[in-house]
Amino acid sequence: MAEIKVPELAESITEGSIAQWVKKVGDRVEKGEFIVELETDKVNAEIISEEAGVLTQILAEEGDTVLVGQVIAVVEAGEGAAAAPAATPAEATPAPAAPQAAPAPVAAAPVVEETSGERVIASPAARKLAREKGIDLAAVSPVDPQGRVRVQDVAAHGTAPAPVAAAPAAPKAASPAVDESRVTVEKMSRRRQTIAKRLLEVKQSTAMLTTFNEVDMTNVMALRSRKKDQFFESTGSKLGFMSFFTKAVVAALKKYPYVNAQIVGDEIHLNNFYDIGVAVSTEEGLVVPVVRDADRKNFAEIEDSIADLAKKARDKKLGLADLQGGSFTITNGGVFGSLMSTPIMNGTQAAILGMHTIKKRPVEVNGEVEIRPMMYLALSYDHRIIDGKDSVGFLKTVKELLENPEDLLLNS
């Protein structure tokens, strides 16, 4: 018999939701075969069976929240046709034909790790041991002066009382009655809940300010029109606007390094790398995969990286590594027709650039009024570490480079 458990995915992920069972009780399962999709705060993960056999028990239904280490299914030796379906969680007793009564599914002891409301910093081994012992990580006193809980801290703490007996959950307030003929009620997905939580955290924990500029897209559009066919023939990649913006952003970040920084405690960390997050809209919400070392990539490599990440996002194939560690983000609301907006910064980054739709409008050019394709740019930034001079200078540099795109090509 093999138990299917929720795997350790990353240190920051402790639970997820069952998104979809691709196998049902009684189905034949091969070793390494994908049987269930798990939705976490960041990505969807495919969980496989480590053994071949028959899926005899499903211990968590679609939509259920499950903890890392929790047993969610059982696979036993045998063939699908001969296997008798085992009891599902909804049934009170095991099937009569079973040789022995199956105990209620027991996984790693559920443990509330953040009773104080703050995220506990702990190693994966410490989290695993805490779950096994039923210990509240928030109650552990770490030796590490920076507050990181390690496995030896958990071992020294001892076993906590069973969480159910110690702290029964407070009854939930009853939801107000809804007239279903007038209102459609839709449960927020785990991903959407996480997006909402993090956006609120950024708004509350930073001194966010937004400054604007506009860029004349005439020369970029003309250059792209002239070169796109040749570019495709020589590289096999389509030439879009994002590579121009990414190149301009990297050049501006090098000139204004505090825009590429972040606050860590009472320190400012100036990043000497240029991992650019590119916001991608999916059915489940916005995700921000990262183009690594954008300063070392040419136009074709940037276009290929963005196209690949966007496809993985739409296909729900993004890994945690695709989403972590960005130093700056670009978001393009213009693809939806947005004329102007104030984007919210991503995670611990200090700034985000918002692109918008291109609109032809009258502007002054060398003392004459001309109709030009114009785009508003918005830079939202953390005013605690970025002054107005740097934010305005950054945007001005991006504007100047985009209005003279040959400079970008020469420097790529």
* Whether 353 contacts 326, CB under 8 Å: no
Structure tokens at 81: 């046709």
CA distances from 265 to 36, 262, 268, 269, 326 (A): 39, 10, 8, 10, 18
Catalytic position from the list 275, 382, 387, 407: 387
Please count the helices (runs of H) and the strands (runs of E) in the chain. 10, 19
Instruction: State yes or no: is 304 an active-site residue.
Output: no
Residue pair 120/127 in contact by the 8 Å Cβ criterion: no
For strands 15-21 and 34-39, give the pairing.
antiparallel
Beta bridge partners of 17: 39, 65
Q: How many CB atoms lie within 10 A of CB 313?
A: 23
Q: 387 an active-site residue?
A: yes
Q: Is 78 left (phi over 0), alpha (psi -120 to 50) or beta?
A: left
Q: Are 69 and 107 in contact (CB under 8 A)?
A: yes
Can you spell out the DSSP letters for 177-210?
A: P--TTT----PPPHHHHHHHHHHHHHHHHS-EEE
CA terminus-to-terminus distance, the chain: 57
Per the CB < 8 A criterion, the answer to whether 294 and 302 are in contact is yes
Q: How many other C-beta atoms can be found within 10 angstroms of the C-beta atom of residue 333?
A: 19
- What's the burial of 345, exposed, middle or buried (CB within 10 Å: 0-12/13-18/19+)? buried
Q: Which one from 64, 144, 315, 383 is the annotated catalytic residue?
A: 383
d(C-alpha 333, C-alpha 340), whole Å = 8
Q: Which residue numbers are catalytic?
A: 383, 387
